[in-house]
Structure 1
Amino acid sequence: MTTARSTHEAVDDRYPSRLDASATHDINTIPRPDPTVWGATPGPFPATALAEYERKGFHIEDGLLTPAQVQECWSEFDRMTDDADLADSGLLIRERESGAIRSIFRVHRVSPVFEALARTPRILDRARQILGSEVYIHQSRINAMPGMAGTGFYWHSDFETWHAEDGLPAPRTVSLSIALTDNFPFNGGLMLMPGAHRTFVPCIGETPDGHFHESLQDQRVGVPSPSAITELGYEHGIEQFTGAAGAGLFFDSNSMHASGNNISPYPRANVFLVFNSVENAPREPYGGTAPRPDYLAERDVTPLTPLADSPFA
């Protein structure tokens, strides 16, 4: 395959994407050469949960946080939405039409509450168990879907973007989404294709400089073709992450997922912690662009240390 990096030196790439449009007749999906569960590191997950994660690419833990812990996170999110310094920092992304808050990034760096959440041993050890190594936070954020105003996220694999635009060599990354509100089928809940994480779907088109400014509101580059989504959907089906506030979804970075618009009156908000193996440190982006800012892709791979007295223990 020909990668869309005409002014950049070719690199050894097992997951080529952002392909030249003239090569569309050569484009095929790629069977994943890497494992989903890396090694046999001991941890809190029982064998049945790891087997489900291996098979489906995700696993749901109901009641990961207690109602009191959810309230602490929600209060911190509420505080952050009114923080004038944060509003001017570039970390806060708004909906294009309504101006409502869509995402807040790098929450583990700007909030002691979410830093403590990321370092909570029972959460951190689950990430280590899946990835078979020490881990750090590649990206953290809160995604908000306000009632009647939240717009969805089109079908995509996070790894495709993190590979092409951040330089992660392999999908040795696990995301944890924790519901801060009840996640219903009708308020923009996350949809996933179980088993599709075993297939990498290349995307078409060179990545424009500064593409992330647009993609955080409406991603157009780095999304699969409708025909690829249709094929995967019929092969694997679709499941949805729903549940009470406090539920946690662990999902593989190459999981194919999306969410619809929230036209219900009920808001939805989830905090995302993206754990990456320290052995999968970012390189130069495979898509040939400059690396994205640190608030989207941390390049400091210092391992997280457990916080024994975490309020989320």
Structure 2
Amino acid sequence: MTIVDAPPQDRYPTRVDTDAGRVWITREEPTVGPGGPPGPARAHELDAHARDGFHVQRGLLTQQEVSTCRSEIEAMTRDPHVRADERTVIEPDSDEVRSVFDAHLLSDHVARLLRQPRILDRARQLLGTDVYVHQSRVNFMPGFRGGGFYWHSDFETWHAEDGMADMRAVSLSIGLTDNYPFNGGLMLMPGAHRTFVPCLGRTPDGNYRSSLRSQKVGVPQEEDIAELAYRHGIEQFTGPSGSALWFDCNSMHGSGNNITPFPRSNIFVVFNSVENTLVEPFAAKERRPGFVASRDFTPLEP
């Protein structure tokens, strides 16, 4: 007799057909994992992360490290093989590069950076376990033409389309350029991470091909966004290059277009708990490719 593990319960149903099924759900998981290993985050940073769903780390990279990263990444985007690869996403209305996925596999410098204790140990500390890289990419928002990202929770997509069962992932955004209030900086709703907002609409086949350029499915209704904003307010991540933002997988966030001459780019990495490895998608017919949602669950080591 063969014992087959039952699929995990879907505690956060989404991509529903009608407003009747669009009921907010209170999150069950703690934002900061209990009993985690010691790490570089101080008590007030952990408190802020638990309360708001995010915290800022100033000066994570030195200016020399920023320069090295930018040089390597700019060379990568000029490589015709990289531009032609499916892992490279082009802006929908121009020939500008929007994102390059698998940054930690394409860039030796990024790969080494993620394994340094100042980053890896903080990720372990926040999640309370060993971690692996669920996704990594470099995002570009060129001057005058940079497109924004509409309000969304990353977990909603990772749950629906990747099979991430629980809210036990944390994202790291490292600024490679200065983040001003006026060049499309990331906006977040502090405290909204404690509420899961289901979205309307079924997931189309191959949705990732269009959603990476302009997300249409998996975004909240305007009335949900308005209610969350009135409850929690909106804050923005700003700061000089080398600054970093750590934010919970269920943080409600988005960014506007960049119509200034000042470009904005960042390294974006998602750390997931090794106790939260992906199962089958909860609201999609097929898995997304590995460069969007890795199924190599090997723990990162220094």
What amino acid sits opposite 2:16 in the alignment? L
Whole-Å separation in 2 of the counterparts to 1:10 and 1:172:
18
Whole-Å separation in 1 of the counterparts to 2:8 and 2:220:
22
Q: 1:59 aligns with which of 52, 55, 62?
A: 55
> Do residues 16 (structure 1) and 13 (structure 2) align?
yes
Whole-Å separation in 2 of the counterparts to 1:211 and 1:91:
15
Report the equivalent of 1:239. 235
SS at match of 1:233: helix
> Do residues 159 (structure 1) and 164 (structure 2) align?
no
Report the equivalent of 2:29. 34
Whole-Å separation in 1 of the counterparts to 2:196 and 2:11:
10
Q: Output one character per residue of 1:101-154: Cα deviation in whole Å (capped at 9) or x when no partner.
A: 100101111111111111111100000000011100000011100000101000
Q: Given the superposition, is the C-alpha separation of residues 26 and 84 from structure 1 closer, same or farther in structure 2, using an over 3 Å criterion? A: closer
TM-score by length of 1: 0.93
Q: Output one character per residue of 1:163-214: Cα deviation in whole Å (capped at 9) or x when no partner.
A: 0000011110000000000000110000000000000000011100000111
Q: CA RMSD in A?
A: 1.2
Q: Which shifted more, 115-124 or 252-261?
A: 115-124
Report the equivalent of 2:101. 105
Percent of aligned pairs sharing the same letter: 56
SS at match of 2:113: helix
SS at match of 1:156: strand
What amino acid sits opposite 1:107 in the alignment? A
Whole-Å separation in 1 of the counterparts to 2:66 and 2:172:
15
Q: Output one character per residue of 1:61-104: Cα deviation in whole Å (capped at 9) or x when no partner.
A: 11111100110110111111111221122111111111111001
Report the equivalent of 2:120. 124
Deviation at 1:25, TM superposition (A): 2.2
Whole-Å separation in 2 of the counterparts to 1:257 and 1:148:
22
Deviation at 1:10, TM superposition (A): 8.9
Whole-Å separation in 1 of the counterparts to 2:160 and 2:211:
14
TM-score by length of 2: 0.96
> Do residues 267 (structure 1) and 291 (structure 2) align?
no
Report the equivalent of 1:285. 281
Deviation at 1:11, TM superposition (A): 6.3
Whole-Å separation in 2 of the counterparts to 1:30 and 1:280:
19
What amino acid sits opposite 2:208 in the alignment? F
Report the equivalent of 1:222. 218
SS at match of 1:165: helix
Report the equivalent of 2:78. 82
Q: Output one character per residue of 1:10-37: Cα deviation in whole Å (capped at 9) or x when no partner.
A: 962111101123xx12421111011100
Whole-Å separation in 2 of the counterparts to 1:99 and 1:11:
42
> Do residues 188 (structure 1) and 184 (structure 2) align?
yes
Equivalent runs, 1:38-53 vs 2, <5 Å: 38-41=33-36, 42-53=38-49
CA contact (8 A) 1:11 1:286 kept: no
Report the equivalent of 1:4. none
- Structure 1's consecutive aligned runs of 4 or more residues displaced over 6 angstroms after TM superposition are none
CA contact (8 A) 1:135 1:304 kept: yes
Q: 1:207 aligns with which of 192, 196, 203?
A: 203
SS at match of 2:275: helix
Unaligned runs of 5+ in 1: 1-8, 307-313
Whole-Å separation in 1 of the counterparts to 2:8 and 2:100:
33
Q: Which shifted more, 186-195 or 104-113?
A: 104-113
